[in-house]
Structure 1
Amino acid sequence: MKVEKISPFQLGCLCFAYMSGFSTLYLLEAKLILHDVWMANITAAVAIILLLQLLMYIQRRFPDQNFSDIIVNMFGNWIGKFVLCLYLLAMTGLGVLSLRSIALFYTTAILPNTSSSLIMAIVVLVTTYAAYLGLNAISRAALVILPFFAMAMVVICIFIFNDVELNPLLPQFQHSFPLIVYGSMISFGFPFGKTSVIVFLFSEITNQKKVVRSCAIAVILSCLYLLMSTYLSIGCLGEHLFKSAAFPFFSAIQLVKFGEYIERIEIMIIGIWTILTLFEIIIAQYCFVKIVGRIFGAKALSSLYLPAGAFFIAVSMRSFDNPAKLLSYDMMILPISILAPSILVPLALIGTIWVRCGLANKS
């Protein structure tokens, strides 16, 4: 099957869109440790950059193979497919999390009388078709939307800054070290740990030498965007209102008004947020289909996208049926469950590669 490759720059834009999406929707780590949140975000960003270096090292050892092929070849057929099933489980969780988050936001803040199932079904129809079009079409869409996102964020942040009444980063070091570590794990789980899914796209990049740099720039920009959103939200709303708000950054954006006729500027921002969130689900579905195809040895993947979309919507409708369960998953389960596909599997791959290289050298 012929694979159309994309450039490292396109991958970087896609990586930023994939990470940023609704990364500022809940700001859970900020609600947990407030003034010390910058340590959690920076720690998680540095960890994922180091992880990208590790993943790229593995990919360079097998430049012509997809990451799913590398896993099966290194671990063996049965163990490798079991590991791929773990990735499928992680991608399903990330996809369902994004679907439920966007449905919760719309039914809470914009369309209270609309069924969340209907919103998720519409979103999955769009993302399934986008994943079916292929990585080239997905990356071109990211290139189109990101300039509008950057322009809108700059304008919004300039106007929100006028309402900042306190320095949200002071006083410093008010929380214990274990709590800061846990805040870093929450930040790693969402949004930075999601970047481990991008490794399944590395084999489809034209110049693999520039992959880490492009993705690292995307991670840094995403970290700055997250820190900026947190700073403005706490500074405008205050600590107590920030903690009690369901969507703090959205509440801060609602303070922005441009005169008498353009008061609801947040509606335009919501549209851009929604599109970026679609990229999270699209990438999850795209990589999900690639892994399913590898497990079952399918040569043509085009027929798998619709069943994969149906699977995502079916699981979403049965999962996180109230906001408390969704937030509990974000706070307590995701920071732990993301460690296996993001850290443990790459380390096990590195160990297997070194052992095999050592045995080959001895022989």
Structure 2
Amino acid sequence: MGETGRQLAVVTADADVVEAELVDDETAGASVVVHTDRDRHLSPETVAAIAASVADSTRRAYGTDRAAFAAWCAEEDRTAVPASAETMAEWVRHLTVTPRPRTQRPAGPSTIERAMSAVTTWHEEQGRPKPNMRGARAVLNAYKDRLAVEKAEAAQARQATAALPPQIRAMLAGVDRTTLAGKRNAALVLLGFATAARVSELVALDVDTVTEAEHGYDVTLYRKKVRKHTPNPILYGTDPATCPVRALRAYLAALAAAGRTDGPLFVRVDRWDRLAPPMTRRGRVIGDPAGRMTAEAAAEVIERLAVAAGLSGDWSGHSLRRGFATAARAAGHDPLEIARAGGWVDGSRVLARYMDDVDRVKNSPLVGIGL
């Protein structure tokens, strides 16, 4: 072989047979760059900047997953970072058989997928190569197969129920729109649907990001997932009860009457239907001092209205976003335009799944074949 090195490559042919062969190692003899400690150093400011690039919810979830992985490794006398392929496979198997305290059932496949991502990105953040996940993936695939055979609920990925116009009408039917809170909730639901906004994007809006226009309003949202500002035209609806323009106008007028003409668009309202004062803990202000709603509070409004309307399903803050995509596709709109309006990344698998919900019937090969 001359100067070319040789290494053992293991190829899994099936569940019972393992094949191995020698392959050329093209890197043998190549010069190796050795990084110093300084090369591997990140300042606290840079670490904070990297962390800020990730959504708060994802950062919290990853933190929980990484802490659980580190604790398991400590109990098993294994190294967390860098983790071996065997450690990753054993850890994933552990997740598939260990009941979680809250549900008393093992984690579902999507939760395990997220945990695997949390650990692999943890390696990257520490300047380590990603661990070999082939064994871990095989364990996870076997788990998915078993859940499917058992017809377990966890075999199906959980999706938020789509809030379509009929469901939105039902949700808003019981809202008292004479109150500030009622006007806010109606505007939140209808604007969230009309812009296909994530609740985090919705509560980030300020009053000055809403501009009145001949067609209704123009609203600019920052889509953090794609790092873009998207201008969204808000058009009049045919039904006054679900018209986002009318709902937004009524809410803005109520805000102005309460003395608020700038700052956060969606704000906390207290039980007496007044703008809530800043929250404090031990004399210190917590949360947004201007009263901006949190994403969790906005999601709770959507869930509460769905429950009050007697709607079944899995309701969350994402229901409006999914409902927009589903309703727009059902109305015949082009997927590319839907993606641009809602700030989905090109080739989004999530959006494609929403499209499939509509297209699988409309474009079924059974249509028009004469059965």
TM-score above 0.5, yes or no: no
Larger Rg: 2
TM-score range, shorter chain: under 0.3
| TM-score, normalising length: structure 2 | 0.25
Which protein is richer in helix relative to its size?
Answer: 1
When normalised by structure 1's length, the TM-score is 0.25
Which structure's relative contact order is higher, taking Cα pairs within 8 Å and 6+ residues apart? 1
